[in-house]
Structure 1
Amino acid sequence: MSKVVLITGGSSGIGKAVGEFLHHKGFTVYGTSRNPERISNSIFPLLKLDVRNPESIQTAVAQIIDKSGKLDVVINNAGVGITGPLEEIPTQEIKNNFETNFFGPIEVMKSVLPHMRLQKSGLIINITSIAGYMGLPYRSVYSASKGALELITEALRMEVKSFGIHITNVAPGDFATNIAAGRFHAPLLEGSAYEATYGKTLQMMDEHVTGGSKPEEMANAIYSIIQTPAPRIHYKVGSLLQKFSIVLKRILPDTLYERILMKHYKL
């Protein structure tokens, strides 16, 4: 029997690319979307699911179990971007971001773990970000939400290993997707103390996404992880420079690394 895969946020970007790749490899793929009725070009089924709504998660998981009888792989891919000076980001928008990027994946894992325990097998792949390894200016909330998911994964991985369940993180760098269009931008406020520097940084971030790698690179990485009997704790997928930035953070003094980031962002 083919492996059954659930991908949250499977209607576009990385989620869609991964789903199509796995579908062509013979996997039984279920994607999710908050509004699947609006998507007409998906080659795999899209279930209605909002990671901010635990009931919708439980309903979608139950549909998969009822139809396929099992759930082998869960890819927590649904996420949203957010930018802005922390001082000027509305607190409700910070909470909204954590609801999607952090609490949402937790609720998905809580919903699928009982099924995986019964199977005595399963793989959960949490899509985090290279930005989660460091505090980036004007991406503070995004870095924090993805960094928190990295640490939750490290802890939960140890808690469930004895049940035959594997959990891993995959941290992508910049990819050419529509994430920039869907993220929350704190507005550039005329006269703000951050107006000039935030404006330059925002333009730079958009350029990085536009010139980023193709989502198919993530699809290949995810496929390789699924085929691995004992996945590692962390994987990074991106340019050599992006991955090397994590190494530099480990080996350089904090203040020197901070100066390098500030120079990069022209602060």
Structure 2
Amino acid sequence: MSKVIVITGTSSGFGKLTALTLAADGHAVVATMRDTEGKNKDVADELAKADNIEVVEMDVAQSLSVDTAFGYILKKYGSVDVLINNAGVTGFGVAEGYSIEGYKKMFEINFYGPVRTYQAVLPSMRAARQGLVINLSTGASGFAVPYMVPYMASKFALETFIEGIDSELRDFNIENVSVPCGVYPTGMGEKGGFNADREDIPAGYPDFEQRLGDLGKTFYSKVEEFKMDPQTIADGIKALVDMEKGARPLRYPLDAIAQGTDQEFITAKRKIKRKWASKYGMDI
């Protein structure tokens, strides 16, 4: 059955692939992105020519932009069946090397962005007593990676938000899923992410440039070894959309490099969480 699906960050990578994949499956896809008349005009025009896709301007870092976009979408389509929070940025550098403003920029998109879209769509989903929100996270959301601390912190915050709000929304039959992705060749790190901006700080860290370079080489070698294809994420999201209501997991990892250890971590965490929560008399 065709669904109305809103996707953020469709100008490239996972977002664009997911929009095309779901539209080809017959869904009504609203592909949102920034600068549809500027730097993203070519891709916006390309997606708009595809069957079942409408491109809508939306910047998840701006509350007015999000509210305006969803106001238009809900007026035209009446409801949103699925929201896919894909828009995100990354960045590299020592944690001390980021200014407070640098941390805020990362959180504006990776954390507050999804919070904004949730707030924009939840009233209509609660009224309909149904809905699905899929959130693109990171394969390392269970642990921190050096030289990517602000990025990881924003994703940790998102994971916490998803886990908590899922419990709050159960009475409304609104499902929430986090998709922890591994490292894929989407070019995300090359497209204006937020790197450390306190330029004098890294000099105080011995061999920082070498260690950062080694980290990049490790990621690249794993991408090559496991032939990481971004279409895997689009196909995984399609599988989630197609799943029976109530069958979707809270976390749905798609990371061949992890070789099952990500699911092992998720399962162990869930068991320990339930034991811990029970000591406080909570069933979550």
Return the TM-score normalized by structure 1: 0.86
Q: Write out per-residue CA displacement over residues 60-86 of structure 1, whole angstroms, 9 at most, x where no aligned residue.
A: 111111211111000010000011111
8 Å CA contact retained: 2:105, 2:194: no
Aligned with 2:180: secondary structure? strand
Structure 1 residue runs of 4 or more that deviate by more than 6 Å after TM superposition: 248-251
Q: 1:163 to 1:8 in 2, by over 3 A?
A: same
What CA distance in whole angstroms lies between the structure 2 residues aligned with 1:237 and 1:204? 19
8 Å CA contact retained: 1:7, 1:77: yes
Q: Which amino acid aligns with 2:242?
A: Q
For residue 200 of structure 1, report the CA deviation from its aligned partner.
2.3
Question: Residue 91 of structure 1 is aligned with which of 80, 100, 116?
Answer: 100
In structure 2, the partner of 1:236 is 253
Would you say 1:41 and 2:46 are equivalent positions?
Answer: yes
For residue 101 of structure 1, report the CA deviation from its aligned partner.
0.3
8 Å CA contact retained: 1:150, 1:169: yes
Q: Write out per-residue CA displacement over residues 91-129 of structure 1, whole angstroms, 9 at most, x where no aligned residue.
A: 211110011101110111011000101111110111111
Would you say 1:199 and 2:213 are equivalent positions?
Answer: yes
For residue 154 of structure 1, report the CA deviation from its aligned partner.
0.8
In structure 2, the partner of 1:110 is 119
Q: Write out per-residue CA displacement over residues 207-259 of structure 1, whole angstroms, 9 at most, x where no aligned residue.
A: 556776222111111111112212111110011536425636988xxxxxxxx
RMSD of aligned C-alpha atoms?
2.3
Matches within 5 A, 1:52-201: 52-182=61-191, 183-186=193-196, 192-193=205-206, 194-201=208-215
Q: 1:248 to 1:89 in 2, by over 3 A?
A: same
What CA distance in whole angstroms lies between the structure 2 residues aligned with 1:179 and 1:59? 26
8 Å CA contact retained: 1:173, 1:239: yes
For residue 196 of structure 1, report the CA deviation from its aligned partner.
2.7
What CA distance in whole angstroms lies between the structure 2 residues aligned with 1:126 and 1:203? 27
Q: 1:242 to 1:146 in 2, by over 3 A?
A: farther
8 Å CA contact retained: 2:31, 2:55: yes
Q: 1:249 to 1:22 in 2, by over 3 A?
A: closer
8 Å CA contact retained: 1:128, 1:169: yes
In structure 2, the partner of 1:220 is 235
Count of paired positions: 251
8 Å CA contact retained: 1:10, 1:32: yes
% identical equivalent positions: 32
Deviates more, 1:72-81 or 1:131-140: 131-140
In structure 2, the partner of 1:8 is 8
Q: Which amino acid aligns with 1:222?
A: I
Deviates more, 1:165-174 or 1:190-199: 190-199
Aligned with 1:126: secondary structure? strand
What CA distance in whole angstroms lies between the structure 2 residues aligned with 1:161 and 1:123? 11
8 Å CA contact retained: 2:251, 2:266: no
Q: 1:242 to 1:51 in 2, by over 3 A?
A: farther
What CA distance in whole angstroms lies between the structure 1 residues aligned with 2:217 and 2:92? 11
Aligned with 2:153: secondary structure? helix
Q: Give unpaired runs (5+ residues) of structure 1.
A: 252-267
Deviates more, 1:219-228 or 1:236-245: 236-245
What CA distance in whole angstroms lies between the structure 2 residues aligned with 1:240 and 1:207? 11
In structure 1, the partner of 2:276 is none
Q: Which amino acid aligns with 1:236?
A: P
Q: Write out per-residue CA displacement over residues 167-218 of structure 1, whole angstroms, 9 at most, x where no aligned residue.
A: 1111111112020212233388567422332232244345556776222111
Q: 1:118 to 1:249 in 2, by over 3 A?
A: closer
8 Å CA contact retained: 1:130, 1:243: no
